Amino acid sequence: MDETSSVPSAGERVSPVATLLRAPNPGPMTLDGTNSFVLRAPGAASCVVVDPGPDDAGHLARLAAAGPVELILVTHHHADHTEGVARFASMTDAPVRAIDPALCLGAPPLSDRERIKAAGLEIEVVATPGHTTDSVCFVLPGDEALGVKDAVVTGDTILGRGTTIISDPDGALGPYLASLERLRALGSEAHVLVLPGHGPALPDLATICDAYLAHRAERIEQIRAALAELGADASVVAVTDLVYADTDASVRSAAEASVRAQLRYLRGTA
């Protein structure tokens, strides 16, 4: 995977309504670290925080200092996005909302196509299962008068570098492909900025969705070819050895998870 960079000491404005604060948890699966986003309309007193990230006191304190925090949103349940949620909610007295009810504190679960009004913004909820069952994206408004495009916070559904894994058995390839198609349609009429859960912002949602879909199609063909060589009942380990032969050992488990998901998809079991 990509080399990591140092954690910024201050937030980085990535759109007129979004500031990025990167958590100090770089690694093979987290790239530069988990991206936490502070959202607020220009002039708004309060803010919304998306994905507080790991339970790191310094990172959570920086996020809290951007407050007052009106609402905490979660893109999915993986620990690198949620480990610090309970402490951060206690620090800020802000409710927590996610697709998964188990992650919610003092507020109901999110629902697809819901529009949340907070911090002077109207944030649209787009359910995007696939990476995990509870993955969700958040569409943020642009400003036509200023020529500023919309943005979408994608969690791990789309990354700033490379491609994401399908976290089998929690995630599934069929729903993931459908989620990419849905996001591509969202960006088909205008350029939409991508604010991912890891890595840098990307300029065009539709273009990156096209690239992700093409990558998935290529991988599926590679899995089909592996099954033709190894036999229809080939194991996950054997297929991974063949298709992901050059994969670093540090991300081997992720490669196997993706192979499991692709095999389930091809065998019609997911």
Interval 163-193: pLDDT, tens: 999 988 899 999 999 999 999 998 876 689 9
Distance CA 96, CA 109 (A): 9
pLDDT of residue 143: 56
Region at 106 (left for phi over 0; alpha for psi -120 to 50; beta for the rest): left
pLDDT at 266 over 60: yes
**For residue 139, pLDDT beyond 60:** yes
pLDDT at 25: 96
Spatial contact of 16 and 148, defined as CB atoms under 8 Å apart? yes
pTM: predicted TM-score of the whole model, two decimal places: 0.91
The answer to whether the CB of 120 falls within 8 A of the CB of 136 is no
- Provide the 3-class DSSP secondary structure of residue 67: coil
Whether the CB-CB separation of 139 and 121 falls below 8 Å is answered with no
Tell me how far apart the alpha carbons of residues 64 and 51 are, in angstroms, rounded to a whole number.
13
Helix (H, G, I), strand (E, B) or coil at 236: helix
Q: Which of 111-115, 220-224, 248-252 has the lowest mean pLDDT?
A: 248-252
Q: Give the pair of three-digit tokens for residue 163.
A: 């491609």
Give phi and psi for 117, each to the nearest 5.
-105, 115
CA distance readout (Å), 33 to 18, 60, 252, 266: 17, 14, 19, 33
Q: Return all residues near 56 (Cβ < 8 A) that are at least 6 apart.
A: 23, 24, 25, 84
213-220 mean pLDDT: 95
Flag whether pLDDT at 53 surpasses 80: yes
Short-list 55, 66, 228, 259, CA closest to 166: 259
Q: Are 49 and 94 in contact (CB under 8 A)?
A: yes
Determine contact, residues 96/104, Cβ cutoff 8 Å. Answer: yes
Could you tell me the maximum CA-CA distance found in the chain, to the nearest angstrom? Answer: 62
Calculate the CA 64 to chain-centre distance: 22
CA atoms of 138 and 115, how far apart (whole Å): 9
Length of the chain: 270
Q: Quick one: pLDDT at residue 268?
A: 85
What average pLDDT does the chain have?
Answer: 91
* Alpha-helix runs per DSSP H in the chain: 57-65, 79-82, 85-92, 173-186, 205-230, 236-243, 252-266
